[in-house]
Amino acid sequence: MCGIVGLYLKNPALEPSLGRHLSAMLASLGDRGPDSAGFAIYRDPVPEGAVKLTLFHSDEDYDWAELTRAMAASLGVEIKGTPRASHFVLIAATATETARRWIALHRPDVRIMGIGQTIELYKEKGLPAEVVRRFKLDGFSGSHALGHTRMATESAVTTQHSHPFSTGLDLCLVHNGSLSNHNRLRQWLNRRGVEFQTDNDTEVAAGYFTYRLSQGASLAEALEAGLVDLDGFYTFAIGTRDGFAVLRDSIACKPAVLAETDDWVAMASEYRAIAHLPGADSAAIWEPAPATVYSWTKH
């Protein structure tokens, strides 16, 4: 069980302060998610033909510089990157699959947390207030972001078990709730070529949506299919390249609050997390209805 937050900026003038606002949102939901925290932030798009990966290695002194050099030499393309605590944001001037395959083949112990044109995905064990400090989230700018504070229900407290889970290019998922049929679903997805790193139920949901999308479904169709195939209690927030979506199961026991002003749309498990956003006092506030897809996207 957990806290989830999402912030989507309608007004570009607020982009420099995205990280600061998200940071405060996550810290305020530390009580309902003390084990670990994570966030996906959409920023600094890379040019066409390049790809951005957020990488993680459990060794704090991992030699990212060496990886960068080796990858550049091996692929013969420009590779550059920025370390951020235990993570590394790598930009490769090559196709997505080329970059992904190189990492998998040559650095199998490096985890790819997020991949796409704009997404950066960070997650770690520890109290949310500490996690955001470690990644210096306050200083991030961006167009939109999702975050999560975790109270582990059935799987372990590790970096990899934390949310968000990346479900595909510039896609990510955060979840508040507890699925009840994820074990069989995991095997069903395994047989269809989806691989998992953990025994976490949310990772299964993320893999499920990726699978549906890879089969040609739109995001809305994938989410609608999830209402049928995923059993249990959930509020999901899904991050996409251009926006985000929110979905609650039909029983809708887990909380969800949406708020909107002219400048932003926010989503959180508790209003507390939204209360301090600029203009929150006069924001439209409502709850998403059960079994209904809500989405926002830039045009």
Least spacing, CB of residue 255 vs other proteins, in Å:
6
d(C-alpha 105, C-alpha 266), whole Å: 39
CB of 31 vs other proteins, minimal distance in Å: 6
Among 75, 151, 217, 227, indicate the residue that binds other proteins (CB under 8 A): 151
Name the residue among 149, 141, 177, 184 with its Cα closest to residue 249: 177
Task: Provide the angle, in degrees to the nearest 10, between the axes of the packed helices 64-75 and 96-106.
Answer: 120
Q: Is 185 helix (H, G, I), strand (E, B) or coil?
A: helix
252 contributes a contact to other proteins by CB under 8 A: yes
Q: Which two tokens stand for residue 256?
A: 């969800």
Q: Is residue 23 at the binding interface for other proteins, with CB under 8 A as the rule?
A: no
What's the token pair of residue 12? 């570009």
Residues 21 and 11 sit within 8 Å (Cβ to Cβ): no
**Which positions from 164 to 203 touch other proteins by CB under 8 A, shown as an x/- string?**
------------xxx-------------------------
CB of 285 to other proteins, least distance (A): 5
User: Does residue 232 touch other proteins according to CB under 8 A?
Assistant: no
d(C-alpha 14, C-alpha 104), whole Å: 37
Does position 290 interact with other proteins (CB under 8 A)? The reply is yes
Among candidate residues 2, 171, 205, 206, the one labeled active-site is: 2
**Count of residues binding other proteins (CB under 8 A)?**
35
Residue 171 DSSP one-character state = E
253 is catalytic: no
Report the catalytic residues: 2
